A and B are shown apart, each in its own frame.
Chain A
Amino acid sequence: AAGVIQSPRHLIKEKRETATLKCYPIPRHDTVYWYQQGPGQDPQFLISFYEKMQSDKGSIPDRFSAQQFSDYHSELNMSSLELGDSALYFCASSLSRGLSPLHFGNGTRLTVT
């Protein structure tokens, strides 16, 4: 079965640079979520989108922005990167209707040097 696809798998950036992470949800899933997981920490919710509109917002820094496109894929844009942004970034998708759980991708590991 098709899963959530995230790209790239690994990304190395320098401080103050920008990064864009991409997420392709499971086909027909209309809701996308972004999570950040620092070393030794639990996944922390950043933001979610339903039908291309922001539906919930968590601890996403102002330097970060995200959007969901007409084909339901989503991008997380991070600017003025800081060392503390080094983390695993997970995307998840779900169906808005019914009791649909979140299905996660395998993440993008961002390293800021």
Chain B
Amino acid sequence: DAKTTQPPSMDCAEGRAANLPCNHSTISGNEYVYWYRQIHSQGPQYIIHGLKNNETNEMASLIITEDRKSSTLILPHATLRDTAVYYCIVRVDNYGQNFVFGPGTRLSVLP
């Protein structure tokens, strides 16, 4: 699976949009981009995933560049509860194949 690069930490003001970047310059054509987050000591939580089109759900939006070498997770109105470690993972969609976590971005939402 392709390696990803994320900034180790970011701050965001409460109520503002949080834009979390991820670089995956060696991504292959059949690899998807997944985003998970982990709030302190809880199980990782699935947020969103996509292949090449932008995606949106009730939690976030995922913007993937046209060349697919990078993506951005957008939390439109960050709250204090969004403080967590966010993981960008690139993976072929095969059953049983694992997700590789780390290192991720520690997002701190500030009041």
Contacts and interface: CB of A to CB of B under 8 A. Distances in A.
A111 interface: no
Interface in A2-55: 4, 31, 33, 35, 42-45, 48-50, 55
B49 A50 contact: no
B42 A50 contact: no
Which of B32, B44, B103 has its CB near the most chain A CB atoms (within 10 A)? B44
Given A42-B101, A42-B104, A55 B45 contact: no
Contact of B49 (A33, A56, A99): A99
B96 interface: yes
A99 B30 CA distance: 12
Contact of A99 (B32, B87, B104): B32
B98 A45 contact: yes
The number of chain B residues touching the other chain, given as a range, is 20 to 34
A102 B96 CA distance: 10
A96 B46 CA distance: 16
A107 B38 CA distance: 12
Interface of B: 32, 34, 38, 41-46, 49, 85, 87, 93, 95-104
Given A33-B96, A94-B95, A104-B45, 9 more contacts: A33-B99, A35-B101, A42-B101, A42-B102, A48-B96, A49-B96, A58-B98, A92-B44, A103-B46
